[in-house]
Every structure is written in C-alpha cells, then in structure tokens.
C-alpha cells in the first residue's frame, strides 16, 4: 500500500487507542491522568455546554479505567503495550490498595456529571453515598 493508506491506517488505529476502544493498550495511569485533567478543565469552565462536554468525556475515561481497575483488584496484572502510543508517558504500577481511591474519584466525576446535566437528586444521592471531603464540598454548593 502507498504511504497515504499507511498513514490513514495509523491514524485510525491511533483514534481507537485514544478512545480506549477494544484492546486499546492504554496504561490505567494514563487514562486516570486524562480523566482527571478533563474533569479539572470542565469544573473550571463557565460555559454549561463546555462543562458538560469536558466532564462527560472525563466520565467516559473513568468508566474505561474502572474496567481495568477491576482486573487489578483481582490481583491480575495489566499487560504493557509493546509499542505504546505515548512513549514519553511512564507507566505507573497501580497497587490493589489504591483502587478504592480511584473508584471514589470516578464516582465523584459521575455525580458531577449528574449535577451538570440537571439530575440534581441523583447527584445529591451519589455525593451523600461517597462521604469524603470533595463530596461534602459539592453537597454544600
């Protein structure tokens, strides 16, 4: 195949990796980083639409992360990609004892999205169930 076809295939593969589709090979630490960054950006925005988009994308990555965290909880390792898309990102070995804190972060993001989408009752119930400082702060506002 010509170079344009090769480039197109590379981009398509890269997009499915970035979207964490199928066997994406993304390290959980990278997905956590993206989810946190998107959530932080979303919270800082004034536009309701932009908040919803950024926090929604954060929730998407948190959901993908939760799937890999289940594997870690079972004391199974996550295979490292042989040819990572982000070579500069150093993988972090997530330990079983860290999983609960990451799950809590994900649930806070889910509740924040509920709040932004106007599902106030769902958001309140979720924040009340989480019972940490961030959840209490969100309940207060």
Instruction: Between 14 and 74, name the one with better pLDDT.
Output: 74
pLDDT at 28: 83
pLDDT at 58: 97
Q: Which CATH number fits domain 25-140: 1.10.287, 1.10.10, 3.40.50, 1.25.40?
A: 1.25.40
In this prediction, residues 27-39 reach a mean pLDDT of 90
Q: Would residue 75 be called left, alpha or beta, if left means φ above 0 and alpha means ψ between -120 and 50 degrees?
A: left
Please give the span between the terminal C-alpha atoms of the chain, in angstroms, as a whole number.
57
What is d(CA 88, CA 95) in angstroms, rounded to the nearest whole number? 22
Judged against a pLDDT cut of 90, whether residue 7 lies above it is answered with no
Per-residue pLDDT tens over the stretch 39-81:
999 999 999 999 999 999 999 999 999 998 998 898 887 777 6
**Alpha carbon distances (Å) from 135 to 57, 69, 98, 104, 112:** 20, 21, 19, 10, 9
Residue 9 and residue 17 in contact, taking contact as beta carbons nearer than 8 Å? no
Judged against a pLDDT cut of 60, whether residue 24 lies above it is answered with no
Looking up tokens 């919803």, which residue turns up? 52
For the chain, what are the domain ranges?
25-140
Per-residue pLDDT tens over the stretch 82-138:
666 666 666 677 889 999 999 999 999 999 999 999 999 999 999 999 989 999 998
Total-model pTM: 0.79
Number of CB atoms found within 10 A of residue 19's CB = 13
């Amino acid at each position: 195949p010509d170079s344009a076809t090769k480039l197109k295939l590379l981009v398509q593969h890269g997009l499915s990796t970035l979207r964490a589709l199928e066997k994406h090979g993304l390290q959980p630490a990278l997905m956590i980083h993206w989810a946190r960054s998107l959530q932080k950006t979303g919270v800082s925005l004034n536009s309701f639409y932009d908040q919803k988009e950024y926090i929604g994308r954060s929730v998407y990555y948190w959901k993908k992360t939760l799937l890999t965290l289940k594997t870690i909880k079972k004391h199974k390792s996550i295979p490292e990609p042989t040819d990572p898309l982000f070579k500069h990102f150093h993988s972090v070995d997530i330990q079983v004892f860290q999983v609960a804190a990451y799950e809590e972060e994900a649930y806070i993001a889910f509740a924040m999205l509920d709040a932004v989408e106007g599902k106030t009752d769902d958001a309140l119930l979720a924040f009340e169930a989480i019972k940490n400082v961030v959840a209490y702060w969100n309940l207060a506002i």
